[in-house]
Chain A
Amino acid sequence: MQPLLKVENLVKHYAAGRTAHSKDKLAALDGVSLSIPQKTTLALVGESGSGKSTLALCIACLEPPTSGNIWFEGIDVAALAENQQRILRPQIQLVFQDPASSLNPRWTALDIASEPFLVQRRFTKPDRAIRALQLLDRVAIPRKMASRRVDELSGGQKQRLAIARALALEPKLMILDEALSALDCSVQAQISNLLLELQSSLGMTYLFITHDFAMAAHLADQIAVMDRGRIVESGSAEKILSSPSHEVTRSLLAATPRFIETPNVLVNA
C-alpha cells in the first residue's frame, strides 16, 4: 500500500537578512525525505530551529518549498497551482503549539469549531452548529463551554478545541506541531490519549512534531530525528529509542531524563 504522505528531497530556502533580494540564503530544509503510511504516526523530533515547523508548513501547502516533491495520496502537491492547493488543504490539518494564538480570540468555542464548515460553505447554519457541537463532544469539551470565548477556556480546552477544528473537515493527515509542548503534564496525557483514541476510531494519520522523546515514544510508530534541516536518523520507534546511532539522537535522548518510565506515567496519569 502506498504511504499517505511521501516527501522526497525537500528543500526550503529563506532569504537571510532583512531584505528579500539578499544573496545569502538560509536553508531551513536541506533535502528532507520521509514517508508516513496510512493510520500511523510519525514523530519528527529535533531541537528548535531544526526546520520541523517549516516542514509542517510545506506539507500543509501553506509555504511553497524551494524544490523537492511532496506526494500526498500519489499527487505531487508541491507542483499544484495555488487554487488547486486550496482545494487540497482541508485534507491536511494543523494543530499548533500555542492554542491561544491559533484560535481567534473574538470568537466563541462554537464559532471556532464551525468555522471550517463556513469557509467550505458546507451545510446550513443550524446544521453547522449541530456538527460543531458534535465535534466539541468528540474532544470532550463540555457543552456549556460552547458559547464561551477563547479566553475563558483552560489551556487544555483550547488545545482540544484546536483539535476539534482540525477534525471538522475530516482530514486524512493531521500535523501536530508541538501541540502538547505548551500544556502541563496531566493535560498532555489527556490530549495524547485523545489523539490515540481518534486514531483508532477515525483511522487518523499523524505527523507529530516534538522536541520531547518521551511524547514521541508514547505516540509514534516511527521516529525521524531532524537536525539543521536534515533528517539524520529514522526508523521504528523501538529501534531509535533502544539503539540510537546518530550523535544528535543520543544527545536528544540524554536530554530526556527517564524517557522509558515517562510514557507509563503519562498513560496512567
Chain B
Amino acid sequence: MRYLLRRTLHAIFLLFGVSLLTFLFSALTPGNYFDEMRLNPQISPEAVAALHAQYQLDRPLPVRYAHWLNAVAHGELGFSFAYNSPVAPLLWVRARNTLLLTVTATLLAWLLALPLGIWSAAKFGRAADRVLSWTTATLLVVPDLVLALGLLILAVRTGWFPTGGLVSAGFDELSPVHKLRDLASHMTLPVLALVLAAMPMLVRHVRASVAEVLDTPFLRAARSHGLSNRKLLYGYALRAAANPLISLFGFSVGTLLSGSLLVEVIMSWPGLGPLLLEAILARDLYVVIGGVLLSMIFLVGGNLFADVLLYWADPRIRTAASPK
C-alpha cells in the first residue's frame, strides 16, 4: 500500500509543479487578452486599466498564483475573458469529448496491438513477422498530421464518414440507437487517426517484449510440461513480458492525449484541442492554464492507473514496497 500512496503523492506533487510552470510561462508571454483593446480608439485607456484591475492582471504574479490556487481549492479554475464565463464548466464539456476520443482510441489500439505483437513475436523473423514489421515501421514514420489529413481527404472524397463535429444536426430528435450510431460514425475518423498513429509503436514494443521472454528457460520448461502454444503465448509469455508493457500503457495515454489535441483541431472535434488553440491565440490565460492542467490530470491519471496495474500484476513489486 505504501507504494501506491507514494505514487499518488508523486502525482499530486507533479500536478502542482505543472500548474506553477504553466502559470509562470503564460505570464512570460508578452501582452494579455486586453492589450488589443488599446489599439481601439473608442476604448479609453482608463477602461482597459479598469478591466486589468477587475481581472487582477495588474497584481504581481505570486499574488495571482495564490489567488488561482485558492480558486482551484474551491473547485473553480478562474474566469475566461473571451467566453465571459467561469473556466471549469467550459472545460468540462470539452474534456468529456476529448476523454471519449482518447479512451476509445487507447482501448482499441491496445486490443489490436496485443494480439498483433504476440503473433509477430511467435513468427519472429519469418515472412509474416517481417511484413508486419515493415507496415508498422512505415506507419511510424508518417506524421500524425499527415495521417489525419489523409483520412480527412478520404472522408471528403468518399462521403463515407462525416468530416467533423461530434454529432449531426438534429441529433436530439434521434432515437437512442440512432444517436449511438451517429456518434460512432462521427468518432470513426478521429479514433482511426489516433489508433493508426499510436498502434505501430505499441505493436513493436509488444513484439520485442514477448520475443525476449519466449527464449527464457522457464518458458521452455513450461513447454516441456506439455503447455499448448496458445497458452504459452497468451498466458505465460504475455504475463512475463507485462511489466514494460504496463509502463508503456501509461506512456501511451500521454501520446494519445497529445495526439488527440492535434487530431481534434484538424477534424473539428469539439474537445480540448480546438478550445486550447483558440485560448492560446487569444491569450485567454485561465482557459489555457485550466486546459493544460486538465490534460496533465488525464496523463498523470493514466500513469497512476499503470502503477496500480503493475502493483496488482507483479508480486515482486508488492513485497519490495511493503516492509517485511
Contact = CB atoms under 8 A, between A and B. Distances in A.
Interface string B197-229: 000000000000000000011101111111111
Contact of B221 (A96, A149, A151): A96
A165 B221 contact: yes
Contacts, number: 72
A115 interface: yes
A40 B224 CA distance: 21
A101 interface: yes
A151 B316 contact: yes
B183 interface: no
A89 interface: yes
B319 A149 contact: yes
Interface range, A side? 20 to 34
Nearest to A119: B225
Nearest to A104: B218
Contact of A62 (B126, B223, B314, B316): B223
Contact of A19 (B125, B228, B229, B315): B125
A149 B315 contact: yes
Interface in B226-245: 226-229, 231, 236, 239-240
Contacts of A166: 221
A90 B224 contact: yes
B316 A106 contact: yes
Contact of A90 (B126, B220, B226, B228): B226
A101 B315 CA distance: 17
A24 to B, nearest CB: 15
Contacts of A116: 225
A63 to B, nearest CB: 10
Interface of A: 15, 19-20, 57, 60-62, 82, 86-87, 89-90, 92-94, 96, 98, 101-106, 115-116, 119-120, 149, 151, 162, 165-166, 168-169
Pairs A-B, 5 closest by C-beta atoms = A102-B217, A96-B217, A116-B225, A119-B225, A20-B125
Interface of B: 125-126, 130, 216-218, 220-229, 231, 236, 239-240, 314-316, 319
16 contacts: A15-B125, A19-B125, A60-B224, A62-B220, A62-B223, A82-B229, A86-B226, A89-B224, A90-B224, A92-B224, A94-B220, A94-B224, A102-B218, A104-B240, A119-B226, A166-B221
